[in-house]
Chain A
Amino acid sequence: MKKKLGVYICACGGNISDYVDIERVREAVKDEDCVIMAKTTMFACGDSNQKDMEADIKENNLSGIVVASCSPKLHLTTFRGVSERAGLNKYNYVHANIREQASWAHSDNKPGATEKAIHLVKAAIAKARLAESLEPIVIESKRAVAVIGAGVAGLKAAISLARMNDDVYLIERDSKIGGKLNELETISPENISGKELLERLQKEIASEERITLITNAEVVASRGNIGDFKLTVRISGPQGNTEKEIHAGSVLVSTGFNSYTPAEGEFGFATVPNVITLPEFRKLMGGQKKAAEGGSGKLVYNGKEINSIAYIYCVGSRQVKGDNKYCSRYCCTAAVQASLDVRAIAPEIENFHFHKGIRTYGKQELIYKESNSKGDVYIQFMDKKPPVVSAAEGGISVKALDVLTEKRESEVIADLVVLVTGMVPDSDTSIGTLFKLPKGRDNFYNEIHMKLRPVETVIDGITIAGTCQGPKNVMESVNSSLSAAAKSHSFVSKGELELEPIIAYVNADTCNWCDACSKACPFNAVAMVETAGGQKASINKSTCKGCGMCLPVCPSDSIELISFTNRDMEDMIDVLAL
């Protein structure tokens, strides 16, 4: 039966219609074969338009729709939902991206943008004419989540997953849990130490029967996919290594960060005495008694009393020359907090802060105010002129051009220099490599969409939490970890999952197993099977992602992708080439 197609062309409130003449697009496509209605709309995704589309589908018995709007990355599920609610199988909806691909890409050439949009919509119509109804692949999902990394994010995720009745495997590389919590002194906004927090978490972990904690453990291999990841975990022990296989429906990655290690000579690090990093400074403070608790009232380093400290901010972050362009978010507050804490040990100490603009955002501003009121000195240096650190008589000289005094040079002779080091991704990238997790330009693991899907990765079933996704303080890490827990929970809680049916399939009549496809598949979804007709390729339905890598390498053209068949592609190309 001939298809009845409806076409919707979105203005995106100007995002599209400012450059693409959507009325012309409508005119150009309204008489295409099978198109029985073509409409423009202000916001295709808007509630009222969705209602209109549903009504159109029902009233006109549409057997397919084409939506021409933004990237399907944003709204594929939105319009699939519209189709389903109107009783139309969702695979009869085809999308054309005329925002990113036409209006935004060609904002300098409006007629050209319009012309391209027309072609894209026509190609989508060609595809919609051939579209077939499909049913999702339903697979079983193990009610268990593997949490990798037992820092604060991983611990909180594990506890809340267990409390949502999921089994949890908590896998930690180290012999002890807690990650950086083990090293933290005061954590703002509460006056509590990392150790105290960790004790609380340890108790909670111990009381959750669903959590299996595996320390000294490394994930060395992974098979399977969402619903059933099979992880091989290598556990090192006094008697050597053992291996264990774990099955989980979802994996939550919370592998944390490293503190930036300055290069030798960077701000005098390792070349000038008494230049230490912020984590080293915190450790130093941890070992000394507060004045009010019977301490000497002095801070001592290397046997010598410290009377003045210079802090240099943004070390390893916001680099003008180096690769780390990003701000590490937590370190301004952490450094200001440390400079307040040191006053509890040595009340008379002098603090000099060399910074690039203090970023104590939100309520953290209050500790910056407190620090100012205690008489700390803040010197803002020029972006492109970082301070110079050198050994000097009576201490260490820190020189900088001060933004506040019309770029006059300020020099401070301090007893100790603290380099406020930022966060960098964990140096052990094995988990990222194992699961093929994409990274952002800052090298932290990347989410799919910062606002729509902030804890998901492009690998189905794998979520990211805490600082492995980007710099965060403790509270922010926990928020992201609980969000990731909610997401992972939703992958496993129903016991089954629906997967995309758009996958590759093999024509066994023409295939004569040459192995090319299995080599090309990035997901290990192709295997050889013995059949009566000889050796053939066979594709695992739940592993295949429909990426299409196997198609072009097949010498006998025996592989097709459902809904992107040669016929589909040829018809689309014919229209585009017109």
Chain B
Amino acid sequence: MQKEPITLTYDAIVIGGGIAGGEAALNLANNGYKVVLVESRLSVGGKMIMLSKVFPTLDCSACITTPKVSEISRHPNIKIFTESDITSIDKLGEQSFVVKMTQRPRYVVAEDCTACQLCEQACPVIVKDQFQYGLVGRKAVYIPFSIASPKVAAIDIDNCTLCGACEKVCPPGCIDFTMKPKEYIFNVKTAIVATGFRLYDPTNVPRYSYGTAKNVITSIQMERLLAPTRPFHTILRSSDGKVPDKIAYVLCAGSRDDSMGNPICSQICCMYSIKQAQLLLGALPMADITIYYIDIRAFGKGYDEFYEQAVSMGVRFVKGKIGKITEKENGNLTLRYEDVATGKLKEAEHDMVVLSVGVKPNKEAADLFKSHKLELDGLSFVKQSDPLLSPAKTSIDGVFVAGAATGPKDIPDSILSAGAASTEAISYLNQKSQ
């Protein structure tokens, strides 16, 4: 164990390296402020870096995210820590925060790793790949994904058998099983919380049969199937390799329903489902795609037009509430639903069902703050203390919030809220230092 934590000083800390955190960090850094960005996972980029294309412009998500990520990682005013957990944030006074952070060991010396992947080939352990949302496996030593930043291997020590195979093949010899967690203390003047959101866990709703029926997947898994860096390079049912030709979307899966523990609308799922439907029709022109919905919420600039485009491409929209999904022997699925137009209960068969899972809060953000309370709203999102006039302000002066941490947001809205958070942070730094 290291004896003393390493103490460093920055103007601002940004917590969370998704698109919102990244954008906020860049805004501050471009205005000359020194920023430390802390990400709990192995790579920055958040959810966005894993997406396929993004509505309503259908830009390739990786193409927009990677250059941002690379700008952040190269910026002379930004220092990034990945695989790191903040343990406490204390406010001593205005413009004075003390942050304690632990960086977990990667067991790979990041500076030396060339991402040659030889270790991956050597490792005998296979586990589910969390970055591909369980669609495929990965090794115990692995590079998170092809466009990860930093693109460096890491060892998942919980699953590693310590066989040493990777150590033997690594050309630069950068595998180091003796690595220990590193402790840091940051003195900063302001903080931006950009901890994003969690996806609704559909196993909470047994009638969806997620986890038991093989061909019921979530929308984020479909994002991976569609992404340029996709695991199979085509759309297929990972259970049996069949190319699906009758795909159903279940909207509001885990949203707008108190009984599912989420009363609000998740704001992004209508649009991302419409987007995926369009992309699927591009990849599988003959496929039959049905979207079961309650209301279509295509509210942003160009969104309703995007929805109309899907209709004209032949995507079927059925206003209906899904009751139960059951698996047939051949892996196909029977959907029981209430067809709202007729009021009748109906059944339909599909060979793949995508659950358009909703947005849930990342409650842990509040626990990081010790001396002062970071208040959450009734739904456990970070509470905006002045939502109309200063949407980025929180219950703590000098702590601002960006992106989906305050509630569901698509990428354009996340980026604008990050702009707002950085402007407020700069104003805060300026005002009080005069």
> Which of the candidate stretches B124-132, B293-301, B345-353 sits at the interface with the other chain?
B293-301
Known: A189-B387, A442-B301. A454 touches B147 (CB 8 A): no
Bound complex: CA of A181 vs CA of B65, how far in Å?
A: 37
Known: A365-B264, A403-B340, A450-B57. A485 touches B423 (CB 8 A): yes
Give the chain A neighbours of B303 by CB distance below 8 A.
327
Shortest CB distance A106–B (Å):
15
Option from B151, B228, B266, B299 in Cβ contact (under 8 Å) with A15: B228
Give the chain A neighbours of B163 by CB distance below 8 A.
none
Bound complex: CA of A450 vs CA of B15, how far in Å?
A: 24
Chain B CB within 10 Å, residue with most, of A70, A163, A483, A486: A486
Option from A164, A452, A486 in Cβ contact (under 8 Å) with B419: A486
> Which of the candidate stretches B99-107, B199-207, B236-244, B410-418 sits at the interface with the other chain?
B410-418
Tell me whether B27 and A478 are in contact (CB under 8 A): no
Option from B66, B69, B265 in Cβ contact (under 8 Å) with A364: B265
Tell me whether A482 and B423 are in contact (CB under 8 A): yes
Interface presence of B422 (CB below 8 A): yes
Chain B CB within 10 Å, residue with most, of A43, A444, A455: A43
> Which of the candidate stretches A45-53, A124-132, A244-252 sits at the interface with the other chain?
A45-53
Interface presence of B389 (CB below 8 A): yes
Q: Which of A130-155 contact B (CB under 8 A)?
A: 152
Known: A43-B147, A47-B151, A482-B419. A451 touches B408 (CB 8 A): no
Interface presence of B302 (CB below 8 A): yes
> Which of the candidate stretches B4-12, B134-142, B426-434 sits at the interface with the other chain?
B426-434
Bound complex: CA of A490 vs CA of B54, how far in Å?
A: 28
Interface presence of B330 (CB below 8 A): no
> Which of the candidate stretches A233-241, A342-350, A353-361, A559-567 sits at the interface with the other chain?
A353-361
Known: A48-B115, A483-B423. A13 touches B389 (CB 8 A): no
Bound complex: CA of A441 vs CA of B308, how far in Å?
A: 15
Give the chain A neighbours of B267 by CB distance below 8 A.
361-362
Tell me whether A476 and B263 are in contact (CB under 8 A): no
Shortest CB distance B225–A (Å):
13
Tell me whether B299 and A482 are in contact (CB under 8 A): no
Shortest CB distance B295–A (Å):
4
Mark contacts of A7-34 with chain B using CB atoms, 8 A cut-off: 1 yes-contact digit, 0 otherwise: 0000011110000000000000000000
Residue of B nearest to A369 (CB): B263
Residue of B nearest to A47 (CB): B70
Shortest CB distance A379–B (Å):
13
Interface presence of B94 (CB below 8 A): no
Interface presence of A282 (CB below 8 A): no
Interface presence of B67 (CB below 8 A): yes
Q: Which of A314-372 contact B (CB under 8 A)?
A: 318, 325-327, 329, 357-366, 369
Residue of A nearest to B311 (CB): A383
Tell me whether B413 and A479 are in contact (CB under 8 A): yes
Tell me whether B416 and A358 are in contact (CB under 8 A): no
Give the chain A neighbours of B296 by CB distance below 8 A.
357
Residue of B nearest to A405 (CB): B343
Known: A403-B341, A478-B391, A482-B420. A45 touches B407 (CB 8 A): no
Known: A192-B388, A197-B389, A327-B298. A164 touches B423 (CB 8 A): yes
Shortest CB distance B158–A (Å):
27
Bound complex: CA of A375 vs CA of B431, how far in Å?
A: 49
Interface presence of A440 (CB below 8 A): yes
Interface presence of A518 (CB below 8 A): no
Bound complex: CA of A14 vs CA of B228, how far in Å?
A: 6
Interface presence of A475 (CB below 8 A): yes
Tell me whether A318 and B63 are in contact (CB under 8 A): no
Residue of A nearest to B227 (CB): A13
Interface presence of A220 (CB below 8 A): no
Chain B CB within 10 Å, residue with most, of A164, A189, A475: A475
Option from A43, A47, A360 in Cβ contact (under 8 Å) with B265: A360
Known: A160-B424, A403-B319, A444-B301. A187 touches B388 (CB 8 A): yes
Tell me whether B423 and A475 are in contact (CB under 8 A): no
Give the chain B neighbours of A484 by CB distance below 8 A.
419
Give the chain A neighbours of B343 by CB distance below 8 A.
404-406
Give the chain A neighbours of B389 by CB distance below 8 A.
152, 156, 197, 200-201, 478
Tell me whether B30 and A366 are in contact (CB under 8 A): no
Option from A325, A405, A441, A479 in Cβ contact (under 8 Å) with B417: A479
Shortest CB distance A96–B (Å):
16
Interface presence of B256 (CB below 8 A): yes
Residue of A nearest to B406 (CB): A363
Interface presence of A74 (CB below 8 A): yes
Q: Which of B53-73 contact A (CB under 8 A)?
A: 54, 56-57, 59-60, 62-64, 66-67, 69-71, 73
Tell me whether A404 and B427 are in contact (CB under 8 A): no
Bound complex: CA of A325 vs CA of B302, how far in Å?
A: 9
Mark contacts of B12-23 with chain A using CB atoms, 8 A cut-off: 1 yes-contact digit, 0 otherwise: 000000000000
Residue of A nearest to B379 (CB): A363
Bound complex: CA of A325 vs CA of B54, how far in Å?
A: 21
Interface presence of B342 (CB below 8 A): yes
Tell me whether B387 and A475 are in contact (CB under 8 A): yes
Shortest CB distance B200–A (Å):
14
Option from A406, A469, A474 in Cβ contact (under 8 Å) with B342: A406
Q: Which of A274-320 contact B (CB under 8 A)?
A: 318
Interface presence of A75 (CB below 8 A): yes
Tell me whether A160 and B423 are in contact (CB under 8 A): yes
Give the chain A neighbours of B71 by CB distance below 8 A.
78, 81
Option from A12, A165, A318, A485 in Cβ contact (under 8 Å) with B304: A318
Give the chain A neighbours of B66 by CB distance below 8 A.
43, 45-47
Interface presence of B312 (CB below 8 A): no
Tell me whether A12 and B67 are in contact (CB under 8 A): no
Tell me whether B265 and A451 are in contact (CB under 8 A): no
Tell me whether A190 and B70 are in contact (CB under 8 A): no
Bound complex: CA of A358 vs CA of B293, how far in Å?
A: 12
Chain A CB within 10 Å, residue with most, of B31, B69, B265, B392: B265
Shortest CB distance B84–A (Å):
19
Interface presence of A407 (CB below 8 A): yes
Interface presence of B40 (CB below 8 A): no
Give the chain B neighbours of A362 by CB distance below 8 A.
264-267, 407-409
Tell me whether B427 and A325 are in contact (CB under 8 A): no
Chain A CB within 10 Å, residue with most, of B69, B266, B389, B411: B389
Tell me whether B391 and A74 are in contact (CB under 8 A): no
Interface presence of A489 (CB below 8 A): yes
Tell me whether A486 and B422 are in contact (CB under 8 A): yes
Interface presence of B149 (CB below 8 A): yes
Mark contacts of B292-325 with chain A using CB atoms, 8 A cut-off: 1 yes-contact digit, 0 otherwise: 0001111111111100100000000001000000
Q: Which of A72-118 contact B (CB under 8 A)?
A: 74-75, 78, 81, 85
Give the chain B neighbours of A487 by CB distance below 8 A.
419
Q: Which of A453-482 contact B (CB under 8 A)?
A: 454-455, 469-471, 474-476, 478-480, 482
Name the 3 nearest CB pairs between A and B, nearest first: A13-B228, A483-B419, A482-B420
What 15 additional pairs, Cβ within 8 angstroms, besides A361-B297, A482-B392?
Answer: A12-B228, A13-B229, A48-B115, A78-B67, A152-B389, A160-B423, A160-B427, A326-B301, A361-B267, A363-B408, A475-B391, A482-B424, A483-B419, A483-B423, A484-B419
9 pairs across A/B with beta carbons < 8 Å?
A46-B62, A75-B67, A189-B387, A357-B296, A361-B267, A362-B267, A363-B265, A365-B264, A490-B31
